[in-house]
Structure 1
């Protein structure tokens, strides 16, 4: 966003999936077709939008894609063959993948991360938590709950995935929001407001970003209402040895940020701290 008034660049991303006919082959023939490796990005605000295609390190169907406060995208859960449906997929993909959209070298945008030990397939879900972790849970690839005598039993557990920015080595760079200078943490469209924050080691050359993220409802490999908005940062003021103030503009219209509650993250040198909840009206 720029000055809280101009329209931002709007981009969507779609990854993985199953080729046409995969459901019939899995459901009727028990033939599990390899999942797609492709990712497509589309800038909706371009004068002549067109898909820019890339390939993930591995194919994946029924994945969850989580937008992180850093601006990166986490691709997690899913299977390597088959399609969504009861008993219609095999080969759980245990390794999450991090996608860095702003990496200039396209060959370095995808990073394979540490695996889970729990298959997360049909009816699994993932969502962003206020502290930056990812809550992952569920997996019921059967029409009824089935906990035994099957290759992929019903899974009711929850686990937390910690992105790289949660590592202890970044503790000195992790900012803590002290206050939001808006009454009752409610802001209006286009409003100029400020956040005060503390950080042990401030790196002015690496910059500060402020991200608004809508809490999404995640089901069937789709985070409904998932939206990441990077606010326009006007400047950063130093208040004391460890305290700072960042001045920002709220989104200009409800077309960019529908009214409601958002997680507000402050990100320093790529490391987000605990969010605060704000409301925009």
Structure 2
């Protein structure tokens, strides 16, 4: 009887108009994936990418998956992926393609499970005339005869030769590869950093090509990243390989820049070490990557990095996921990508509880406000915070100020910007990866405003979600949530966790307030500074217009979502909308155009491209 009364309450019109409603999506067993990444495509479909989905057996068999889901009719189609994109980075390009870069080249091996000593090998080439291939399986021999084999192909560039008046100076080139001992056991452990010969080389080549090894140990081996990158075309619904990254990356962030290029930061490299600040840039016109040697700031993995209203500046919210020391790269601040300087932004509460927190713009980006929500201690920590702190990045001296508190301390909060200028904050857990059955079946609607804004109760989700969780705004104004990868399935932490493969969709309160405004005609492209003529039969009650950037998400990190306010004037056919003139307000990309009426009810989003040429080309 009590359950019946609850169901009757939460499905009543009055309750839904105040709190909204959650609906679990039934996914056939043949279409289920471990959703690690999610992206809303210009077609209105959602791509959920598993790759190997944190399943080493699938990595070994290359049974790599992605699911294309259409929320309009519930149709689903499995699409194999060409490489393991598990824990790569992703973002939408201006031409509508989804860029996915990095992922898994090798799964971790925990202490006690490592049978062959291993480590990093710097392969040096002193030949200025020839680049040297180092195929997988190349043997490196220590002065005492220990042998180690490389696990992946590499190419060592030719050395750099500089001619001088007295001759020439040669600077050896190098690449770093991961090597494993040819023989199992402790006899292959080598704590020394020594020079290694490469087996099988003739003497004249052996002088120029050799290895410098780090200590070879039986210690835990972290995940290793790949340098491969791919795009998914929403028109052909197929994958294509693009140029390889300069660096292998696992857990990187891909930040879309103002002009449509993409900045890749952080991640674990090809030997399982956090990259030491190396940054690179993707050009969608050429499908190639270029190292930005001028940008070398260190970030832990999956850093929350956002473009701002100031030219040549990124805001680092301090949010991260997964890897990096507690005392390095954890301070929020403004990164000047013109001169590589970094200005810390003070005032954040619980500054040591930023891992697995969420960050996003809140309200129109013209307001300059960003929030940092929840988070926990570095690594497998049980500590978490209920913090919501707000920063005004338009302030000449920005600092965080307190907002309202969440209902409970929360790691892995999903943050999704809504067209009525509020934000849905949902799910998460109190402990690391939901340990101790600590998932929160809670959701809140945050609205910015004086004194840090306000929180109000939203309907409770049915599905718990923690690590490997995503949330996306759909064109119809609903919110899709997916994923969750708990360590355990019981409160005593004795039963191994099961990946959550159900989807759940939240319908916000505005969808239960009557008929929504309609868009009967709107352009598919727009230039900054342009006035858009939009036909609607509901102009009399339309109060606001927003451009909402198509977003992607992984590990509750979504750096590409933003809302842009448009000035509005009513016309005989509908409304005229003024697109802001500044690229810093409206970066080049794909957006949903949404009209919002006097009750806060949004229209269905109309997808258009703002700025730039379509860089789509056959590959």
Judge same fold: TM > 0.5, yes or no.
yes
> In 2 relative to 1, CA 89–132 (structure 1 residues): closer, same or farther, beyond 3 Å?
farther
1:273 aligned residue (596, 603, 615): 603
CA distance in 2: counterparts of 1:58 and 1:152, whole angstroms: 23
Q: CA deviation at 1:90?
A: 4.2
Paired position in structure 2 for 1:175: 517
- SS where residue 510 of structure 2 aligns? helix
CA distance in 1: counterparts of 2:397 and 2:451, whole angstroms: 24
Q: Is 2:408 the counterpart of 1:58?
A: yes
**1:104-253 matched pairs, under 5 angstroms:** 104=450, 109-142=454-487, 150=495, 152-167=497-512, 170-172=513-515, 174-180=516-522, 182=523, 185-199=524-538, 202-203=540-541, 208-233=543-568, 235-237=569-571, 239=572, 245-253=574-582
Q: CA deviation at 1:38?
A: 1.0
State whether residues 126 and 137 of structure 1, in contact with CA within 8 Å, keep that contact through their aligned partners in structure 2. yes
Aligned-CA RMSD value = 2.4
Q: CA deviation at 1:229?
A: 0.8
Q: CA deviation at 1:44?
A: 0.7
- SS where residue 273 of structure 1 aligns? coil
Deviations 1:119-148 (A, max 9, x none): 1111111100000000111111249xxxxx
Paired position in structure 2 for 1:13: 371
State whether residues 135 and 161 of structure 1, in contact with CA within 8 Å, keep that contact through their aligned partners in structure 2. yes
CA distance in 2: counterparts of 1:64 and 1:89, whole angstroms: 20
CA distance in 1: counterparts of 2:496 and 2:441, whole angstroms: 15
- SS where residue 58 of structure 1 aligns? coil
Q: CA deviation at 1:195?
A: 1.3
CA distance in 1: counterparts of 2:552 and 2:451, whole angstroms: 33
Q: Is the deviation greater in 110-119 or in 263-272? A: 110-119
Higher relative contact order (CA 8 A, sep 6+): 1
CA distance in 1: counterparts of 2:436 and 2:468, whole angstroms: 12
Q: CA deviation at 1:62?
A: 0.3
Unmatched 5+ residue regions in structure 1? Answer: 1-6, 27-31, 144-148
CA distance in 2: counterparts of 1:257 and 1:90, whole angstroms: 42
> In 2 relative to 1, CA 111–135 (structure 1 residues): closer, same or farther, beyond 3 Å?
same
Deviations 1:213-264 (A, max 9, x none): 111111111112111111122x223x3xxxx512121121222222121111
CA distance in 2: counterparts of 1:138 and 1:265, whole angstroms: 27
State whether residues 211 and 264 of structure 1, in contact with CA within 8 Å, keep that contact through their aligned partners in structure 2. yes
Q: CA deviation at 1:8?
A: 3.2
Q: CA deviation at 1:212?
A: 0.7
State whether residues 463 and 504 of structure 2, in contact with CA within 8 Å, keep that contact through their aligned partners in structure 1. no
State whether residues 119 and 152 of structure 1, in contact with CA within 8 Å, keep that contact through their aligned partners in structure 2. no
Q: CA deviation at 1:154?
A: 1.6
- SS where residue 92 of structure 1 aligns? coil
Paired position in structure 1 for 2:394: 45
CA distance in 1: counterparts of 2:497 and 2:550, whole angstroms: 30
CA distance in 1: counterparts of 2:575 and 2:518, whole angstroms: 12
The structure whose Rg is larger is 2
CA distance in 2: counterparts of 1:119 and 1:134, whole angstroms: 15
- SS where residue 165 of structure 1 aligns? helix
> In 2 relative to 1, CA 260–105 (structure 1 residues): closer, same or farther, beyond 3 Å?
closer
CA distance in 2: counterparts of 1:39 and 1:158, whole angstroms: 26
Q: CA deviation at 1:152?
A: 4.9
State whether residues 96 and 114 of structure 1, in contact with CA within 8 Å, keep that contact through their aligned partners in structure 2. yes
Deviations 1:18-77 (A, max 9, x none): 1x45x35x4xxxxx23x2111111111122222121222322110110000000011012
CA distance in 2: counterparts of 1:96 and 1:151, whole angstroms: 26
CA distance in 1: counterparts of 2:402 and 2:552, whole angstroms: 27
CA distance in 1: counterparts of 2:386 and 2:448, whole angstroms: 16
CA distance in 2: counterparts of 1:256 and 1:105, whole angstroms: 25
CA distance in 2: counterparts of 1:140 and 1:36, whole angstroms: 20
Deviations 1:66-113 (A, max 9, x none): 00000001101211x223x5x6574111111100114x576x811121
State whether residues 77 and 124 of structure 1, in contact with CA within 8 Å, keep that contact through their aligned partners in structure 2. no
State whether residues 366 and 565 of structure 2, in contact with CA within 8 Å, keep that contact through their aligned partners in structure 1. no
